[in-house]
Structure 1
Amino acid sequence: MTLRLNIVIASTRPGRVGPVFGKWFEAFAQEHGKFEPALVDLADFNLPVYDEPRHPRLAQYEHEHTKAWAASVKSADAFVFVTPEYNYFVAPSLVNALDYVLSEWHYKPAGFLSYGGVSGGLRAVQSAKQLMTSLKIMPIPEGVPVFSYAQHLNEGVFQPTEIIEKGATTMLDELSRWAAALKPMRAA
């Protein structure tokens, strides 16, 4: 059985570039062949700042946006978060989305395709990993940072370098190993 990989576009702001990277990565993951990739755009869920009356550990969701988001998270065996860096930190939309549900995240590995200026979004990734571990998500060390991202775009299309493609392959290989290894824990 093929493992499902949710590729989550983390930025929700108008004018964002995340969908360009997300679409490229979805096609790359499809060609890689170890996952059934699904592109998930946080903007499609319209998650307000957490508005459920009960703690997410109870999984007693009242709002349709929460139920839809919980189903999306639950459907995945692994994640790749496509994220920018905002003020040396992870995008607030991703922090909010992570906090919305709890058990749906448990025992699933996560990788990052991050983008930004000189840092390639790596500071955002490091800040996100701290939150993820408290949700029982296994953030793997391998990732795909895109430094000075604008120079990799040609008329709105991402033009990855050989190093970026090798990084993506390595990350997908590791995600596959972790997702398979953690599967018994997800089933328990």
Structure 2
Amino acid sequence: MVRIAVVAGSTRPGRRGRDVADWVLRRAGEHGGAEFGMLDVADFDLPLLDEPVPPSRGKYQHDHTKRWAAAVREFDGYIFVTAEYNHSVPAALKNALDYLYAEWNNKAAAFVSYGSAGGVRAVENLRLIAGELQMADVRAQVALTFATDFREYTSFTPSDGAEQALQRLFGQIISWSTALQTLRA
């Protein structure tokens, strides 16, 4: 059975991303078809990229990098939960992605985003990053807006449309994660 991580990408105090990531993980467990886990970037305390050798070489020197690499390596696909900051991804998520290379290769990526415009511009950036990391991004995505999916712009309350979009996303990320296992075998 494939293993898929829900990646909480924001580390900001008072973030909404962990609430969203927890919702994704709960619904994933109900959906089935894969084994799901959580990778919260905030739990890894990664400083700004401080490895002297490019990640594509795989010669990690710092314990925090080795710990992050070991955690990421365990999964076949990822559902990235991202806020949109200034038309892009949170710096902590970009930094976490930049730390590694081979651990991301030939794996599937899906995106759940949130923000005033649903976080879609952050996902546009993430799709480019995923391509460079040799990840296959699925088409289905969930775009949550503060106006419709957060009561009084703060309390996460996903709409029926978001729930339906998430189910489509699960189908695609599971299929692609399964298919890409053959490339890594």
Query: Is the pair's TM-score, using the shorter chain for normalization, greater than 0.5?
Result: yes
Alignment coverage as a number of residue pairs: 185
RMSD: 1.7
Identify the residue that residue 22 of structure 2 maps to in structure 1. 23
- Displacement of 1:11 in angstroms is 0.5
The residue aligned with 2:58 is: 59
Contact preservation (8 Å) 1:24, 1:158: no
Given that residues 149 and 158 in structure 2 are in contact (C-alpha distance below 8 angstroms), is that contact kept between their aligned partners in structure 1?
no
* Shift in CA distance, 151/161, structure 1 to aligned 2, threshold 3 Å: closer
1:161 Cα deviation from its structure 2 partner: 1.6
Matching of residue 143 in structure 1 with residue 141 in structure 2? yes
Distance 1:14 1:20 in 2: 13
- The residue type paired with residue 94 of structure 2 is V
Task: Return 5+ residue gaps in structure 2 as ranges.
Answer: none
Deviation above 3 Å: which 4+ runs of structure 1? none
1:121-161, Cα deviation, whole Å (9 max, x unpaired): 0000001111110110111111011012675348x763222
Counterpart for residue 161 of structure 2: 163
Does the 8 Å CA contact 2:84/2:115 hold for their aligned counterparts? yes
Q: 1:151 to 1:182 in 2, by over 3 A?
A: closer
Q: Which residue of 1 aligns with 2:11?
A: 12
TM-score (norm 1): 0.93
Q: For 2:139, what is the secondary structure of its paired residue? A: coil
Name 1:107's counterpart in structure 2.
Answer: 106
Structure 1 residues 26-53: Cα deviation after superposition (integer angstroms, max 9, x where no partner): 0100000012111111011111111011
Give the match for residue 90 of structure 2: 91
Could you tell me which amino acid in structure 2 is paired with residue 164 of structure 1?
Answer: A
2:182 alignment partner, one of 160, 181, 184 = 184
Q: Letter of the aligned partner of 1:179 in structure 2?
A: S
Using the size of structure 2 for normalisation, the TM-score is 0.94
Q: 1:164 to 1:151 in 2, by over 3 A?
A: closer
Maintained 8 Å contact 1:82/1:113 = yes
**CA offset at residue 55 of structure 1?**
1.3
Letter in 2 for 1:105: W
